[in-house]
Every structure is written in C-alpha cells, then in structure tokens.
Amino acid sequence: MRWSRSLILIRLLVNIASCFCVRSLFGVAGGILVEFLGCHVGAASLGWWLPFYGWVVNPLTRLAHWLGRYPWLMKLAPVIVPVDRVLHRVSGNRLSLVRFAGLPSLRLVTVGRKSGLLRANDLLYTPYGDCYVVIGSGWGRAQHPTWTLNLTANPEATIIVRGRSIPVVARRVEDGVELDAIWELALRNWPGYVMEKRLAGREFRVFVLSERR
C-alpha cells in the first residue's frame, strides 16, 4: 500500500513538473484569452472549444483529469467545497478551485423545495450550444444531490458564470439519444464522472440550463 501511494505521489510530481515546464507560458496567455472571451462574449458562446481549453492551454487540467480516476479524490469534498465558497465570495463569483484547473464551473442558485430559501451550489458544467449542462454526480455519493430535487420542483433558477448572473430554466434530459450524446460530451470535459458513477451506484440526473428570455 505504501509503495503504491509512493508511485502515485511520484507520478503526481512528474505531471506537475512536466506541465509547468512545457506549457506554463502558453497556459498564462491562453488563460487570459479565455477569461476575456468568457467575460465579454459569454462562456456558453465559446461552444465546443471550452471543454478542451484545459488540455490545450492550462497545465493543471491534465493533472485534474488524471486525479479524477481515483476514488479518494471524492474524500476531499469537505475541503474543496468550503474553499470554493470562500473564493466565490472574495472574488465576486469569478474564481473557484476547479476553474484554476481549467474546468468550466458555475454557481447554481435554486429555490429550496421545502424551505423556499435560495440555495447555492458550485458545479462543473459542460457547454451545450448556448446552454449549460450540469450533472448530479454529487461527489460520487449514493443519494442524489439536493439541488437536483430543487430543480425538479422548480426549474427556474439563476447561474453565476465568471461574475455574470444569468436567469435560467432547467430541463431534465431523459431522452436516451440526447442523454448519450451529452454524456460523451461531458466525459471529455470531466472523465471523473465515470469513477463517480461507479462509486454512487446510480444513474445521474442531467439538466440542460437555458437562459430565460
């Protein structure tokens, strides 16, 4: 066990070193470009290219995708979630840990189905045309995330992407053909969904968020 963990640590360090040595300057330039486009054009308007941004310009995305294969990563949720909340608060909802890794993220604000109070959750998303796809993986837990129940009860919500607040309406994807297509697209963005689904032992609820006009 110790030897296995040592190999993982060594590979982790090698990945970090190779990523930063080879692509760090390109990553900075590309990151600035994506931030500009995201703020002035709109994240969804970047279309199919955004999920691949990390692989092209961000040296941390390769590392995040590699770590996403390991179930122990899910145990870091009690650390990652509070830190993300602090980053959102101090940056005006512009920064998060997963965004540092080049993964598209948003803050979803739903109405509590029982309390009627606003509930905020920081989630990965996958661009889908002019829409946003969110998946109820819930860090690989057996129960469905509460926000999926809230969206089912009241599909009107708000998302915050790079500091921009967008009113949206949610549509749960249940058609097999569309669901398969979205799942393949989402896996390019975050391969860790496979591991999370295996841990959870359930089908994930998938929602498409469209801007309310």
Backbone phi, then psi, for 208, in 5-degree steps?
-105, 125
* Cβ-based neighbour number of residue 27 at 10 Å: 20
Residue 128, strand partner residues: 131
| Per-residue DSSP letter, 142 | S
pLDDT above 80 (res 187): yes
Q: Class of the 2-211 domain?
A: mainly beta
Backbone phi, then psi, for 158, in 5-degree steps?
-135, 140
Q: In what order do the strands lie in the sheet with 105-111?
A: 118-124, 105-111, 156-161, 164-172, 206-211, 131-135, 126-128
- Of the pLDDT bands very low, low, confident and very high (cuts 50, 70, 90), residue 182 is very high
Residue 213, pLDDT above cutoff 50? yes
DSSP assignment string, 3-64: HHHHHHHHHHHHHHHHHHHHHHHHHHHHHHHHHHHHHHT-TGGGGGGGGGHHHHH-HHHHHH
Instruction: Tell me the C-alpha distance between 115 and 97, whole Å.
Output: 29
In the prediction, which pLDDT does 58 show?
Answer: 65
pLDDT: which is higher, 80 or 209? 209
Average pLDDT, the chain: 77
**What confidence score (pLDDT) does residue 57 get?**
52
**What residue segments make up the domains of the chain, in order of their start?**
2-211
Based on its alpha-carbon atoms, the radius of gyration of the chain, rounded to whole angstroms, reads: 17
Q: Across residues 82-100, what is the average pLDDT?
A: 75
**pLDDT score for 63:** 74
Q: According to the per-residue pLDDT averaged within each range, which of 25-29, 37-41, 92-96 is highest?
A: 92-96
Question: Residue 196 in 3-state DSSP?
Answer: helix
Higher pLDDT, 57 or 163: 163
Distance CA 30, CA 58 (A): 8
